[in-house]
Amino acid sequence: MKVPAMQALRKTTAAAGLELVDVPLPAASHADETLVRVRATGICGSDLHVDDWTPSYAFITQSLPVTIGHEFVGVAQSGPLAGRRVVVRPSVTCGTCAACTVGNHDACERRTGIGMTRDGAFAPWVRVPLRNCVPVPDGLSDELAALTEPLSISMQALRVAGDVRGQRVLVMGPGTIGQGIAVLARRAGAAQVVVSGFDDAPRLDALRRMGFDALCDVAQTSLAEATTSFTDGQPFDIVFEATGVPETIQDALALLRRNGIVVVTGIHARPLSLDLTALVRKQQQLRGSFRPPESDWPEALALMAEIGDLMAPMVSHVLPLSQAHEGFALAHGKAASKVLLCPGDGDGDGDD
Ligand SMILES: [Zn+2]
Ligand SMILES: [Zn+2]
């Protein structure tokens, strides 16, 4: 008998590149797991890093070969949410450490990552823990629901920054995380939100359609020059870094006021050399921001149900999984805002 197979986008070896290959359908082997029929999965900056095989993702080597894809929406097949559309938190807690046993899952330090160190959602089916599934409100599109994970990352960046009301905010990096931060900062009452990109026309254009007008591209000019027309040369109160390019932190500090805050969200492939004396004398703060508490997920979905129309321009391309390589090329070449792949469409989905 033929073993049912499906197409999956995988990292197969510890080197640059991804492969679209046939793999067996997964099976939910534990009562606390379900299969999810995947409907849409976003291509994330970290997926590009895994494709390029930058050093910050070498930690997945021991898990190869692995199907990537961690920003997704699909339909749960079993458990209390069977038949419902769900988004899935990609970070899987261990369930056995001291924090997990007292129910403090947010403090778990022994995690695996769906789409990083265990099979992910650039495939028609993915096996996930039931407790990672969060129901999607009716009426919220698959395209927006697939943005839940990055929006939760943006929510955490705002939390780390503190109160942004009345503050002059710079968001460096107009990708999905930066776009989400800009939306949330404006909503939280920032006096001004300036967004900078580097050779980023499609992503800045998405922001324009989301109602932002203080946008600049620093491919041809310096950040200081590019932003001064919006700020009249005044320093920023808060800078969010969402570029993944370490040197942008130096630019951020140079434009930041005394006692100002830089929130770093990028995953950086290289270390940074930094003038700490200037930072000390100006009492500037450098804060890292990463994973939000699990409780942010329903909040992110509710927020999108409320302001989804405003966020819709974030998604620029929706392609079948069979065009995964085209999708990655668009994302790599900065020719897209957000690219989603739909593994449920077309052939190779194990349904036949
Ligand atoms: Zn991501
Ligand atoms: Zn744990």
The answer for residues whose C-beta is within 8 angstroms of residue 87's C-beta and 6 or more apart is: 72, 73, 133, 134, 136, 145, 146, 148, 149, 297, 301
pLDDT at residue 29 in the model: 75
CA of 180 to the centre of ligand 2 (A): 29
Query: With bands split at pLDDT 50, 70 and 90, how would you rate the model's confidence at 21?
Result: very high
Q: 156 CA to middle of ligand 1, Å?
A: 13
Distance 329 CA to ligand 1 centre (A): 17
pLDDT, mean over the chain: 95
Q: For residue 345, what pLDDT is reported?
A: 63
pLDDT above 60: residue 351: no
Predicted local confidence at residue 348, as pLDDT: 45
- For residue 32, the model assigns a pLDDT of 94
Tens digit of pLDDT for each residue in 312-330?
Answer: 999 999 999 999 999 999 9
- In this predicted structure, what is the pLDDT of residue 1? 57
C-beta of residue 18 within 8 angstroms of C-beta of residue 68? yes
Asked whether residue 349 carries a pLDDT value surpassing 50, the answer given is no
Q: H or E segment at 77?
A: none
Distance (Å) from CA 112 to ligand 1 centroid: 14
Supply the pLDDT for residue 75.
Answer: 98
Distance 182 CA to ligand 1 centre (A): 17
Strand, coil or helix: 148:
helix
List, in order of start, the domains of the chain with CATH numbers: 5-136+293-342 (3.90.180.10), 151-288 (3.40.50.720)
CA of 248 to the centre of ligand 2 (A): 34
What residues contact residue 136 under an 8 Å CB cut-off, 6+ apart? Answer: 73, 84, 85, 86, 87, 145, 301
Compute the distance from residue 147 Cα to the ligand 1 centre, in Å.
9
Share of the chain above pLDDT 70, in %: 97
pLDDT at residue 269, rounded to an integer: 83
Q: How far is the CA of 91 from the centre of ligand 1 (A)?
A: 11
Q: Report in angstroms the alpha-carbon separations of 256 from 44, 138, 260, 276, 284.
A: 28, 42, 6, 14, 8
**Centroid of ligand 1 to alpha carbon of 163 (angstroms):** 25
Ligand nearest the Cα atom of residue 121: 1
Of the candidates 36, 108, 93, the residue with the CA atom closest to the CA atom of residue 67: 36
pLDDT tens for each residue of 104-125: 999 999 999 999 999 999 999 9
> How large is the average pLDDT for residues 337-341?
97
What's the gap in Å between 205 CA and the centre of ligand 2?
41
The pLDDT score that the predictor gives to residue 352 is 36
Distance between Cα 70 and ligand 1 center (Å): 6
Q: Is 339 helix (H, G, I), strand (E, B) or coil?
A: strand
Q: What is the pLDDT of residue 268?
A: 87
Distance 331 CA to ligand 1 centre (A): 13
Confidence band, pLDDT 50/70/90 cuts, at residue 270 = confident
Which pLDDT does position 28 carry in this prediction? 74
Tell whether the model's pLDDT for residue 288 goes beyond 80. Answer: yes
Alpha carbon of 58 to ligand 2 centroid (Å): 22
